[in-house]
Amino acid sequence: MSSVLYEIKNSVAIITLNRPQKYNAVDDSLTNLLTISLSKAKKDNKVRAIVITGAGNGFCAGADMSYFSSELSPEKRGDYIINTYQPLINTFKQLSKPIIGAINGSAAGVGASLALACDFRVMGPKSSIYFAFINIGLGPDGGGSWLLSRLVGYSKALEIAISGEKVFGEECHKIGLTNKLVEDNCVLSTAIEWAEKLSKKPTLTIGLTKEDIIFSEKNTLNDTIAFEAGQQIKAFKTEDHKEGVRAFIEKRIPNFKGK
């Protein structure tokens, strides 16, 4: 049984972490197949939005601890984290199409990092973001500290990371860790519905906008304005921009093609 499932529905790639017997804990197979699935969605022009969810009762329980054998030195375990999680999280952030995390149940440990690496999240009241690292004497990994602090700020991020407690859906919505709070049985359907709406927007421009915001996080206002100008030059050349202008003049809804 594949540890990651991939299907396309109405221009949306639905990627399912599929180790339900392990609460979708991350092992090498899941990491590799998730990276392959994201890359496939990136290259496929028919795919214009992505939803990631977990099979069974949870989104992702974190790292499969059998991959962190005590027989390995701390240095080798550190190398494993860099070599495994760095390229995976970069794949999320560098993908030019919107990624929605349908967070069913708990996203714990590096599973929380995967959830926060998505551009958007849909959660239910029983869904949770769980920085469980501290409970076994570890700090965050998989970029969790970077992702969390940019969503909620330093003080709140530190509070969450060292509390070792689950942050459930309602609190996540209140502090900005999730975009939509819905009934628990509607998490996936809401995420897919949202992705289908996004798939009708100018896909290339969504990618450019994602790049704009990521660039702005590390650069000055003036540098960001200059970067945005370069991005606009790319946008001016797209078919969707021309269609958007025509639709505006003709007072109709634009028919974007993602080109």
Query: Per this entry, what is the length of the chain?
Result: 259
Q: Which residues contact residue 230 at a Cβ distance below 8 angstroms, ignoring those fewer than 6 apart?
A: none
The H or E element containing residue 106 is: strand 106-108
- At 135-176, the pLDDT tens digits run 988 888 999 999 999 999 999 999 999 999 999 999 999 999
Which of 95, 105, 80 has the alpha carbon at shortest distance from 37?
95
Instruction: Round the average pLDDT of the chain to a whole number and report it.
Output: 92
Instruction: Specify the CATH number for the domain of residue 223.
Output: 1.10.12
Q: Could you give the maximum distance between any two Cα atoms of the chain, in Å? A: 68
pLDDT at 258 exceeding the cut of 90: no
Q: What is the mean pLDDT of residues 170-190?
A: 97
Lowest mean pLDDT among 74-78, 220-224, 254-258: 74-78
Q: What is the mean pLDDT of residues 73-83?
A: 83
> Are both 107 and 30 inside the same structural domain?
yes
Which residues constitute the domain of residue 242? 203-250
| Cα 110 to chain centroid, rounded | 12
pLDDT for res 153? 93
Q: What is the number of domains present in the chain? A: 2
Q: What is the mean pLDDT of residues 42-53?
A: 95
> Are both 49 and 114 inside the same structural domain?
yes
Q: Which residues contact residue 66 at a Cβ distance below 8 angstroms, ignoring those fewer than 6 apart?
A: 27
> Is residue 256 in a domain?
no
Query: Token digits for 93?
Result: 């952030």
Instruction: Specify the CATH number for the domain of residue 9.
Output: 3.90.226.10
Categorize the per-residue pLDDT at 229 as very low, low, confident or very high, splitting at 50, 70 and 90. Answer: very high
* Other CB atoms within 10 A of residue 179 CB: 17
DSSP letter at 17?
Answer: E
> Is residue 258 in a domain?
no
pLDDT for res 70? 64
Query: Token digits for 144?
Result: 């969790």
> Are both 96 and 220 inside the same structural domain?
no
Categorize the per-residue pLDDT at 68 as very low, low, confident or very high, splitting at 50, 70 and 90. Answer: low
Lowest mean pLDDT among 68-72, 112-116, 154-158, 234-238: 68-72
